[in-house]
Chain A
Amino acid sequence: MVATGAVVAPAEKPAASSGHYRRSWAGWGFLAPFALVFALVFLAPIAYSIYLSVFQDKLIGGNSFVGLDNYKQALTDAAFYDSIWRVSLFLVVQVPIMLFLALLAALAIDGGRLYGASLFRISIFLPYAVPAVVATLMWGFMYGSQFGLVGSINDFFGISLPDPLSPTWVLASIGNIVTWEFVGYNMLIFYAALRVIPVSLYEAAAIDGASEVRIIRAIKLPAIRGALVIATIFSIIGSFQLFNEPNILQNVAPNAISTQYTPNFYAYSLSFSGQQYNYSATIAIIMGLLTMAVAYVVQLRGMRKAL
């Protein structure tokens, strides 16, 4: 119990000492370049979308103001609810698995107990660097139950694995691709955060003879809480905006992945195949509000202690 106090105390101190510099407009000076570009590429299109969302443009009949009709339609749209439910399920299952694996890998590499740590670091990060086109080809091959890898495994062992591209399994297959891509990405975030923990904290722990597990729980995890919260928030946003992977896999599994598979996919199909820009904008705005609400709750719970 003595150890606990000694170990925890320093962990909190940097946070205390790194409080805000002072109140001044200088902060805006540093933030201004970001803010300007951000307004141009995010805020302006969003404002435009809000404007679009109260109109309706028809192939026959042209453009007309419809007030909140698009929103009413969205709130009674079964396909939209379906897609939200699907990404929520995805969020609850995939995000924890991915972040856990990433954290494990980061701690292992940071702990200095691995042979060839830098090899691990780059290998696990690499999938993030694979372009989408290639991912299509690769996973199309891996998941192919006719002539692909799954097909070969079935032949070789004389078994019959479930078809990863069947409607039942395809969400899990997508989860696998997302995990594959982003474990390394999240690992690097955690790893970089672990690297800035002051050595003095470990020294204190070493003097107290704290075990590895103890050090992780009492020093490392609290110290990277900010990174953990950030990674969680962005994973939530990523899940709600799930698009690339289902879009890629749709090429090989068109019947299992509908054009309304995820909210973002739905918005994309509306806008790009259906030219329903207005309804698409509506869906986007609603999803934005929803995602923001969820992210905000997570941030309130997690960040307050960290900052």
Chain B
Amino acid sequence: MIIKHRRLLRAVAVSVVAALALAACGGSDGDKPSASGGADDVKAALEKGGTITVWAWEPTLEQVVKDFEAEHTNVKIKLVNAGTGNDQYTALQNAIKAGSGVPDVAQLEYYALPQFSLAKSVADVSAFGASSLDKTFTPGPWASVQQAGGIYGLPMDSGPMALFYNKDVFDKYDIAVPTTWDEYVAAARKIHKADPKAYIANDSGDAGFTTSMIWQAGGQPFKVDGEKVTIDLADEGSKRFAGTWQTLLDEDLVAPVQSWSDEWYKGLANGTIATLTIGAWMPANLESGVASGAGKWRVAPMPQWESGAHASSENGGSSLAIPEASKNKALAYAFMDYATAGKGVQTRVDAGAFPATTKEISSPDFVNKKFPYFGDQEVNKVLAASAEDVVKGWSYLPFQVYANSIFNDTVGKAYVSKTPLEQGLADWQKKSVTYGDQQGFTVN
């Protein structure tokens, strides 16, 4: 009991001090709090040292943590894998609610970040020096971590989309690699006709994939203005995607296999799943998950909606953010900065991560790297170009985690029954609107 009280007292003391420190550097009002004061805090925290906890599932961070600790011997970092994606968000939400056990840094995918920043569960880090990182990151990810003038995280990696394809399959049936979605549908027919067990792709309904596709098609189904939210899953871009995908579903041209299952890896290995339209982080997964596919796979730009266009979108990718309840934000920021904008980036790129920083993404070493797995193709050239082409103006819902969780309840019906995709999207919209209203947003 005594120990507990002491801990509580200390916690109160620390948070009071932290609050004062924040107030001192003017974090609450004004767009641009005195950045230098915050940056000084960071320096002081690094000198003082201490222990921080980082929740992340990104494997490349392990080495980054080791390097950081070697450089700052008085800092100790506890790197904890508290689950992947949703599991971790739930854990984080619970810890925040309980007011204890909250980490100092947490990995949050871009689609999940608004949910936490809107509830002010994660801190605005502009004051610590983030506002000066303007040109450091590629535009897509950088836009994703900002909200209403605040910066709520630093981009750790990105996932500009590309078409990964099994060259053997395309060669075998003498099919050209599609450059437009129309050609894609035609190729899908040819492949499935040539081998009824083979499909151009798998898709069993995936919220992340669908939103990325709508993004590339120019749709902006989610618009957020503070507490006012607009959802329109029947806009131009959404319809465009739904039309083409309906054809694929109607003619059974995509394999009903769940991504990331062992059946999926099997299909990627034996050529029955011929392409993946997916984020730039995929090469490392193919290399470790489908080792037998070495030499067969290649990467091409994402098929286009208009011939000759250059449009792409982001798929996945995460940021690091500092929970508001962290007791050592300055030190947390020091690590976060190191991992996402400092030396840590190169370490992570070397381990196979796809960067969100302009410097690394355009460095000759990176762009010209030959991938033996991809038949010595300079894969990063394609992927870096895609990062440039990401369509601007996209945003996720401030409750996207929930919306994605009900995607298969609604849109998923189109994959297993006669429900048209457009109807599914309409249902998804309806349920998301209901939830938004219940949560106190003004929706549509």
Contacts and interface: CB of A to CB of B under 8 A. Distances in A.
Please say whether the chains A and B touch (CB closer than 8 A). Answer: yes
Interface in B235-256: 255-256
Contacts of B93: 275
Contacts of B222: none
Contacts of B204: 254-255
B303 interface: no
Contacts of A252: 258, 261, 263
Interface in B357-415: 398-399, 401-402, 405-406, 408-409, 412-413, 415
Contact of B409 (A61, A145, A166, A258): A258
Contacts of A272: 86, 90
A252 to B, nearest CB: 5
B439 A60 contact: yes
A272 B204 CA distance: 23
B405 A255 contact: no
Interface in A259-304: 259-260, 269, 272-276
A254 B258 contact: yes
Interface string B89-104: 0100100000000000
A57 to B, nearest CB: 9
B399 A59 contact: yes
A144 interface: yes
Contact of B435 (A141, A147, A258, A274): A274
Interface in B119-147: 119
A167 B263 contact: no
B93 to A, nearest CB: 6
Interface string A61-93: 100000000000000000000000000000000
A254 B408 contact: yes
Nearest to B87: A272
For B227, B401, B402, B417, the residue with the greatest tally of chain A CB atoms inside 10 Å of its CB is B402
B440 A59 contact: yes
A140 B259 CA distance: 12
Contacts of A140: 261-263
A146 B255 contact: yes
A148 interface: yes
Contact of B406 (A58, A144, A166, A259): A259
A59 to B, nearest CB: 4
Interface residues of A, number: 29
A27 B406 CA distance: 50
For B90, B257, B258, B398, the residue with the greatest tally of chain A CB atoms inside 10 Å of its CB is B258
Interface residues of B, number: 37
B272 A58 contact: no
Contacts of B402: 273-275
Nearest to A255: B412
Contact of B261 (A59, A251, A273): A251
Nearest to B93: A275
Contact of A146 (B86, B257, B408, B440): B257
Contacts of A59: 118-119, 398-399, 439-441
B266 interface: yes
Interface in A138-180: 140-141, 144-148, 166-167
B285 interface: no
A256 interface: yes
A167 B415 CA distance: 11
Contacts of A43: none
B205 interface: yes
Interface in A10-65: 58-61
Given A147-B266, A273-B86, A273-B402, A256 B409 contact: no
Contacts of A141: 262-263
A201 to B, nearest CB: 52
A147 B272 contact: yes
A177 B207 CA distance: 28
A137 interface: yes
Nearest to B414: A255
A45 B52 CA distance: 31
Given A259-B406, A273-B401, A276-B438, 11 more contacts: A59-B398, A59-B439, A60-B439, A137-B262, A144-B263, A146-B257, A146-B263, A251-B261, A254-B204, A256-B416, A273-B86
10 contacts: A59-B399, A140-B261, A141-B262, A144-B263, A146-B257, A146-B272, A252-B263, A254-B204, A255-B408, A274-B405
Interface of A: 58-61, 137, 140-141, 144-148, 166-167, 251-256, 258-260, 269, 272-276
Interface of B: 86, 90, 93, 118-119, 204-205, 227, 255-258, 261-263, 266-267, 270, 272, 398-399, 401-402, 405-406, 408-409, 412-413, 415-417, 435, 438-441
